[in-house]
Chains A and B, each alone.
Chain A
């Protein structure tokens, strides 16, 4: 199998199938996309913000909104790439059905990654709007540029999620990934407070994690903070997406084409 042999028409067919299912449940899905961040920003942004005031030189609501946007993009892509993709790969036999057509396994994986990222895009954009309403966006002249970046963030988390999906023996296995990877990122990658508040070795570690780079791209776009090293951040996110895809495609092939 050549992981570079990708027919966009096939990737789109996989994506479109998932989109059609999502469209059936659009109300519940959108409610979660708008409702959750609204509550988070209201509860933490206003509540905690009252005591904290400013963080990193900007109002806490603005600081938090950009962080929550990133962590939500991470969670959305991760959930889709783990639980939903796992169901389609194993229990429902959806992938096997696709493999009986001209769609190849690497195209299935690519379609799933792009779909998971699309869901991040939907939830991230919802948060951007909610944050705007709650005063979490300081600069709309650059904030709109966050939209393509959210897609990139989604891809960066969907790739690794599909890797875990391909090696997981059951749903229970995902708890390891959440406890060991997702939750530490949520807490130590600058969502709630600056990374430089952490001990130096943790800071080094945080620099390797994709969420740190996601936050450092998004926060300056939504606020008045300066954008530093954007190419570095984009490269790290892109690397996670592409390496994740390559590994996931190979693992999925080993699992399904026996």
Chain B
């Protein structure tokens, strides 16, 4: 059956999902998803814990069987083992080989792809350069920092020169410097024509990297679009976050005559509006208030779509 929702020609579609479902026993964790990922973009999958992100990724790389529906990569069913020659995977959990040096990790991994030694060696040196790890080539991986290990994981996922790189939370737990370096490297992969698919909890990361974002919760797609589209669609352009207001009545009084949408999180009131200048002026006059005025971000969209409740690991 040929249905094409996005209207792209098939050759440009890397991933294609039609009514993809996944059950664990009776529980449905991926509930009939339909989406395409075009070639050459960075596609982000966002969602709280338990949304089905990781399962969706694991199915894509053949680590989890699809319960029903059509899920294909490069026009082939995701269960086809030969697809692994065209994908690189960076899992959430670090699984570098602790017994080997940085360089040897790449060489041993290349061997799983049946890449001959000379080619592997040449590629390993290039990838160490790419990951800024050349100076550490002969060090054991246990001596690397968290950021270096992540970079090595990304380098390792590239040993087979894949067309698609799948990353599950690539910068979780890293400091800002390490994250920026990784973002820069991931962007450079995109300019080399690779397609990236990543999951993340960091909205800033999604905004920095992704051309197209799918927000997922409870196994369903809540919305999809570019970061800018999502912000325009769901939230007002400006936000004033105010602390020091005791009651809702106080807040309403402060915002009298202004067109504002409120949300309260703990002791902070978030006021979303088209133009926040007059509210900012009022806040500035009241010394008892602490406030931050900023443009609306993906984080505001995410919280509006998935709710502000705390999610425990499902």
Contact = CB atoms under 8 A, between A and B. Distances in A.
Given A20-B108, A257-B64, A101 B95 contact: no
B95 A93 contact: yes
Contacts of A14: 112
Interface size grouping (class) on chain A: 20 to 34
Q: Tell me the dominant secondary structure on chain B's binding face.
A: loop
10 contacts: A9-B114, A16-B111, A20-B108, A96-B95, A101-B84, A102-B82, A102-B84, A102-B85, A102-B112, A257-B62
Contacts of A102: 81-82, 84-85, 112-114
Contact of B112 (A24, A98, A256): A98
Interface of A: 9-10, 13-14, 16-17, 20-21, 24, 92-94, 96-104, 256-258
A101 B93 CA distance: 16
Nearest to A87: B98
> A20, A96, A100 — which one has the most chain B CB atoms within 10 A of its CB?
A100
Contacts of A257: 62-65
Contacts of A10: 112, 114
Interface in B36-80: 58, 61-65
A93 B96 CA distance: 8
B130 interface: no
Contacts of B62: 99, 257
**Closest 5 A-B residue pairs measured CB to CB?**
A93-B95, A101-B112, A100-B89, A102-B84, A97-B95
Interface in B5-58: 24, 58
Contacts of A98: 112
A17 B89 contact: no
A171 B89 CA distance: 29
Interface of B: 24, 58, 61-65, 81-82, 84-85, 87, 89, 91, 93-100, 104, 108-109, 111-114, 157, 160
A92 B112 contact: no
Given A101-B160, A102-B82, A20 B63 contact: no
Contacts of A24: 99
Given A9-B114, A20-B108, A99-B63, A93 B93 contact: yes
B156 to A, nearest CB: 8
A85 B231 CA distance: 49
Given A9-B114, A13-B111, A99-B63, A104 B95 contact: no
A10 B99 CA distance: 20
Contacts, number: 71
A73 to B, nearest CB: 24
Contacts of A20: 99-100, 104, 108
Nearest to B97: A94
B114 A92 contact: no
Given A20-B104, A94-B95, 10 more contacts: A14-B112, A17-B111, A20-B99, A21-B100, A96-B91, A99-B62, A100-B84, A100-B87, A102-B112, A102-B113
Contacts of A92: 95, 97-98
B64 A17 contact: no
A111 to B, nearest CB: 10
Nearest to A256: B63
A97 B61 CA distance: 12
Residue of A13, A14, A101, A104 contacting most chain B CB atoms (<10 Å): A101
Nearest to B96: A97
A17 B91 CA distance: 20
B81 A17 contact: no
Nearest to B112: A101
A62 B232 CA distance: 86
A104 to B, nearest CB: 6
B84 A17 contact: no
A115 to B, nearest CB: 14
Contacts of A17: 97, 108, 111
A93 B63 CA distance: 13
A97 B111 CA distance: 12
Contacts of B65: 257
Contacts of A256: 63
B113 A101 contact: yes
Given A256-B63, A257-B65, A21 B99 contact: yes
Contacts of A9: 114
A84 to B, nearest CB: 11
A85 to B, nearest CB: 14
Contacts of A13: 111-112, 114
Nearest to A16: B111
A101 B86 CA distance: 9
A10 B115 CA distance: 11
A50 to B, nearest CB: 44
Contacts of B109: 97, 101
Contacts of B24: 258
Nearest to B22: A258
